[in-house]
């Protein structure tokens, strides 16, 4: 009877041992408590085998005590198994807690690394923003400087163009002045020739008048002499004919017909160009602009050419062959031409 019980116990313990062995992990990562449980089961089987090897007599005689011992051993084995299982569970829980702790530490480490990366990213963003702001400021300064340089360049170009235009205008003015000077020289020569021819004609007329006057009485001769108009020769410090005769002779000259047939001048001061005005002041009025202006006023206030010339030559002694004199007299004549 005892043997059968032992065999049952052996089978039960063997079944547990086989179950433990089957549950061992294939990767070889065996826990310590699992090893202890295997050892205990093997020892329990060994103890039961020892009882089977004992004398059947001793077994039968001590059947009750053996059964009690076996039961006690079984309970002890169960208690040991429970203890080992509890220890295994505690170890497993400890391992789980350790794993959780390590996982928490890993999470904390990753969180710290993530925070460091965030701080580094913020610092990089701040530096990038500062660099972008500095770049914008530098670009704005460069644009401002470029604008200033462009403005200076435009001013320089405009100044160069203005100077070039002024130089070109001066060149053209010089050419025009040279052309006018040549024309005026020719005109003066022509007018001088006209004056010379006209003077001869008028002298013949004047001599004939004097012969007629010699035949009259002394009183009539004196009256005629006093009433005789001022001559252009007296005004030029020469023995030349009267103003009317000179003007009549001027109008007869074919080579000056186009000049005296030009449109009349309504305002002498406005008709005189700036270059001619300067020339007249310097050459005819001894650089005295005030005398020039007063003379122009006297001419403008005259009722006709005779009065204008009387006022003009009452205080002026000009060379009638001078080009500037001819130009001025020509303008005065045009002022009173009908």
For 230-286, the pLDDT digits (tens) are 434 344 444 333 455 445 544 544 344 344 446 788 999 999 999 999 999 999 999
Distance CA 95, CA 188 (A): 133
The angle at the Cα of 272, spanning 266 to 276, to the nearest 5 degrees, equals: 165
Residue 69's nearest CA partner among 44, 90, 92, 104 is: 44
Question: What would the mean pLDDT of 297-321 be, rounded to a whole number?
Answer: 89
pLDDT recorded at residue 334 = 92
Question: Once rounded to an integer, what is the mean pLDDT over residues 65-82?
Answer: 83
Q: Is 231 helix (H, G, I), strand (E, B) or coil?
A: strand
The predicted model scores a pTM of: 0.30
Torsion angle, CA of 306/311/316/318, rounded to 10 degrees?
A: -20
Helix residue ranges, H only, 54-62: 56-61
Q: Could you tell me which of 240, 247, 251 has the C-alpha nearest to residue 207?
A: 240
- The residue ranges of every structural domain in the chain are 2-118, 229-335
Q: Count of CB atoms within 10 A of residue 203's CB?
A: 15
Digit-coded pLDDT (tens) for 151-210: 878 876 787 788 777 768 767 876 776 676 566 655 555 554 544 444 444 445 444 444
pLDDT value, residue 240: 35
Whole-Å CA distances, 215 to 100, 207, 223: 162, 13, 14
Token readout for 129 is: 């923003």
pLDDT exceeds 50 at position 225: no
Contact 338, 264 (CB under 8 A): yes
- pLDDT, tens digit, for every residue of 75-124? 888 888 889 988 888 988 999 999 999 999 999 999 999 999 999 999 99
Residue tagged 């000049």 (tokens): 259
Give the Å distances, CA to CA, from 238 to 93, 234, 324.
Answer: 150, 5, 18
Per-residue confidence (pLDDT) for residue 205, from 0 to 100: 43
pLDDT band at 57 (very low <50, low <70, confident <90, very high): low
Identify which of 157, 149, 329, 310 has the alpha carbon closest to the alpha carbon of residue 229.
Answer: 310
Task: Kindly state the average pLDDT of the residues 279-294.
Answer: 95
Q: Is the pLDDT of residue 21 over 90?
A: no
Q: Kindly give, in sequence order, each residue whose CB lies less than 8 Å from that of residue 267, ignoring residues fewer than 6 positions away.
A: 300
């Amino acid at each position: 009877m005892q043997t059968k019980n032992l065999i049952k116990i052996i089978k039960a313990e063997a079944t547990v041992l086989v179950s433990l062995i089957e549950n061992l992990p294939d990767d070889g990562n065996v826990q310590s408590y699992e090893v202890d449980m295997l050892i205990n089961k093997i020892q329990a089987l060994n103890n039961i085998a020892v009882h089977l090897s004992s004398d059947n007599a001793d077994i039968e005689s001590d059947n009750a005590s053996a059964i009690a011992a076996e039961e006690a051993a079984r309970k002890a084995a169960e208690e040991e198994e429970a203890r080992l299982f509890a220890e295994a569970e505690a170890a497993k829980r400890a391992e789980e807690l350790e794993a959780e702790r390590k996982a928490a530490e890993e999470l904390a480490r990753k969180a710290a690394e993530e925070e460091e990366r965030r701080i580094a990213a913020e610092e990089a963003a701040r530096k990038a923003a500062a660099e972008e702001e500095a770049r914008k400021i530098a670009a704005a300064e460069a644009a401002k400087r470029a604008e200033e340089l462009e403005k200076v360049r435009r001013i320089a170009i405009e100044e160069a163009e203005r100077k070039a235009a002024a130089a070109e205008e001066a060149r053209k003015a010089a050419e025009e002045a040279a052309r006018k000077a040549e024309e005026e020289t020719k005109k003066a020569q022509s007018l001088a020739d006209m004056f010379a021819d006209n003077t001869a004609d008028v002298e013949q007329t004047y001599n004939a008048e004097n012969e007629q006057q010699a035949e009259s009485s002394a009183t009539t001769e004196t009256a005629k002499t006093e009433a005789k108009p001022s001559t252009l020769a007296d005004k030029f410090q020469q023995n030349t004919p009267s103003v009317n005769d000179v003007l009549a002779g001027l109008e007869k000259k074919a080579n000056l017909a186009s000049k005296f047939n030009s449109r009349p001048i309504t305002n002498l001061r406005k008709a005189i160009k700036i270059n001619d005005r300067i020339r007249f002041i310097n050459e005819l009025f001894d650089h005295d602009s005030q005398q020039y202006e007063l003379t122009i006023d006297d001419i403008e206030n005259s009722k006709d050419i005779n009065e204008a010339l009387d006022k003009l030559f009452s205080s002026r002694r000009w060379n009638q062959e001078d080009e500037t004199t001819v130009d001025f007299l020509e303008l005065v004549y045009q002022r009173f031409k009908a």
